[in-house]
Every structure is written in C-alpha cells, then in structure tokens.
Structure 1
C-alpha cells in the first residue's frame, strides 16, 4: 500500500497503533452523526481495525490515515472499499475530526486518492454514498467533481428510523 503525499498531507496506511486515533474519530458525536460506523469504547474499535486489515488482505479496499506533514497531527481517514475489479469501480469514503473541517483537507487528500484510483488502479468509476442531509460531505464531493446521481429513499435503518442516502459518482476522464 503506497504512502501518498500532497503539499500539506501525508496519507499513510492505517496501522494497529492508530487505534486510539480511529476511536477518537469514530466515537466523536459530530463525526458519527452522518457516518455509518460508530464505537462507544476503545475495545470496540478493534473491530474497525480488523475491517481495515481484512479489506487490504482481500484486495477489496484500502484506507489511509490523513496526517498533516508539518505538525504530524492526525486529521482523519480516507479510502475505498467495495472494489469490483470486473466493473472497474469502487466506493470512496472519508471522515475528519471536526477541528480539521473547512480547511480543504478532504479536497487535497481526495484529489490525490482519486488520481491513484484512476491512474494506478485503472478504475473507471468511483461512487460515494452520503446520508441525505450531510451537506458538508455532499459539497466536498461536488468540489472533487462528483455528480449527484440520485437519492436512495429510506434505504438504510439507523438509530431507529429509515434514512435516505444520496449517491454520487465520478467517472475517469481518460477511459
């Protein structure tokens, strides 16, 4: 799994020693408000760490920890899962700790990861699923060039109620 670098960021393989950082993000009320995964204890986060490892082992995805190069601060995570080689597509996902929101980090990391998807993985399509109402993630995807393709109404059950999910996609401009 390659380390990807941008002007400000280093995207590095998520390691077992990152579990505390992953827990901090995936237990934070503002992060998990629209995110499909959440944990209430450090021990439960081990399940997420195993998921990251199993994705890579099964060759169905990979996730990077996002670090600021200068300060070595952990910002969040970005990656893909659901790789379908026969269809040349995968699903993009990301989350950031709130103190890093609005600083262009998803934009910068996303551009680098998308470049990797299209150039190195030779994907044709990248999909992203966003809970309806998650305006910030929807805006971030649009800034990355994703197009809103529709809404999957009441397609998931979360916190005792059905939620709708918007689907976004980006096609490789050089097929």
Structure 2
C-alpha cells in the first residue's frame, strides 16, 4: 500500500473543494503561513518570504512523487484561493498507516471548515488508498487540534515525550489514532 495515484484526486464537500496546490498558490499560502498564530504548532517558523511558500509546495510535490503522502489545498467552493491545507504524510505502506496534518488560515477558524476538510480526507484515506490506521501527532498545548480530531473519532493513545525538536525546543506530542473499523462504526 502506497499513495499511488495517477490523477490527483479532487475532493468536494458541501462547502469546500480540496485540490492540488500549485505554484500559483504561493501568495495565498504565504499569507496564512506567515501568521505566528497559525504557525504556533506547525513545527516551522512563520514564513518570511513567498520563497518559503514555494518550498512548502515543493515538499507537497516530493511526498506525492515518492508516494509517501498527499497534500490538498483547502478552498471554498466557487473561490480559487487556498485558505489552508490538509493531507497524509509519513505513510508506512507495509502497515497501512499514515499521519494526517492540517492547518487553516486564522480568519476561517471556528467555522467547521477544518472539520469538513478532514472528514473528506479521512474518508479518502480509508476508502480509496486502503489505510487501516490514521495517526495525528499533536502538541499538548494545541487544544483546538485535539478537539478537532476527537470530534472525528480519534482516540488519544498516549504521550510521546520529547518526540520532535522544532523551533528550538523539544516537543511532547499526543499520539491519536483512528482505525478503519472505528470510522465505519463512527
């Protein structure tokens, strides 16, 4: 099992279109990834230039080309601007699992947009690429993301102490998971 797709999948929900991020989206991505609040738990410093956004887009292409992940740009239906992104990375093919990641422009927080996008992405993961386990690694202080994944049925399994070194410090991360069998019931 790998994320082996011939044509980039576009996912649609009631309000959203999740689509491939392209170089022309760099200014939109820079707009929200240069915001300190958005980047607080992202693991990177706030972006300083559009070139930082182009590097991020390049990473999206790299994980897709290596079949270890996929990242969608989140857009509102009828509008082309990318307001966030979500996707899978760190795929472990032989174990049918992947991590999720997501972020959203601050002006769209609290409107159910991230929840709607993640639900579509999770469905794709279980139904189209045959994942059995989806993981989310979330910092202890990132309560909104914890609440978001718990709303989708994720279970907190434990604390990974000093799991990542980001932004000059070691971070403890909660490990959350959602299993295919639980999603079907959920």
Q: Distance in 2 between matches of 1:168 and 1:10?
A: 26
Q: Aligned ranges for residues 51-70 of structure 1 at < 5 Å?
A: 51-70=59-78
- State the 1:72 CA deviation: 4.3
Gaps of 5+ in 2: 1-7
Q: Distance in 1 between matches of 2:92 and 2:40?
A: 28
Q: Specify the alignment match of 2:158 in structure 1.
A: 150
TM-score (norm 2): 0.88
Q: Which string of whole-angstrom CA distances, capped at 9 and with x for unpartnered residues, describes residues 74-121 of structure 1?
A: 320010111111110011000000111011111111111111000000
* Correspondence 1:119 to 2:138: no
* Correspondence 1:15 to 2:30: no
TM-score (norm 1): 0.94
Instruction: Note closer, same or farther for the CA distance 1:127–1:113 as it changes in structure 2 (3 Å cut).
Output: same
- State the 1:157 CA deviation: 2.5
Q: Distance in 1 between matches of 2:92 and 2:164?
A: 22
- State the 1:56 CA deviation: 0.9
Pick from 137, 143, 163 the counterpart of residue 135 of structure 1. 143
Q: Distance in 1 between matches of 2:57 and 2:78?
A: 26
Count how many residue pairs are aligned between Structure 1 and Structure 2: 174
Q: Distance in 2 between matches of 1:30 and 1:153?
A: 23
Q: Specify the alignment match of 2:53 in structure 1.
A: 45
Q: What RMSD over aligned residues (CA atoms) do the two structures have, in Å?
A: 1.4
Contact 1:61-1:82 at 8 Å conserved across structures: yes
Q: Distance in 1 between matches of 2:138 and 2:150?
A: 12
* Correspondence 1:101 to 2:84: no
- State the 1:155 CA deviation: 2.1
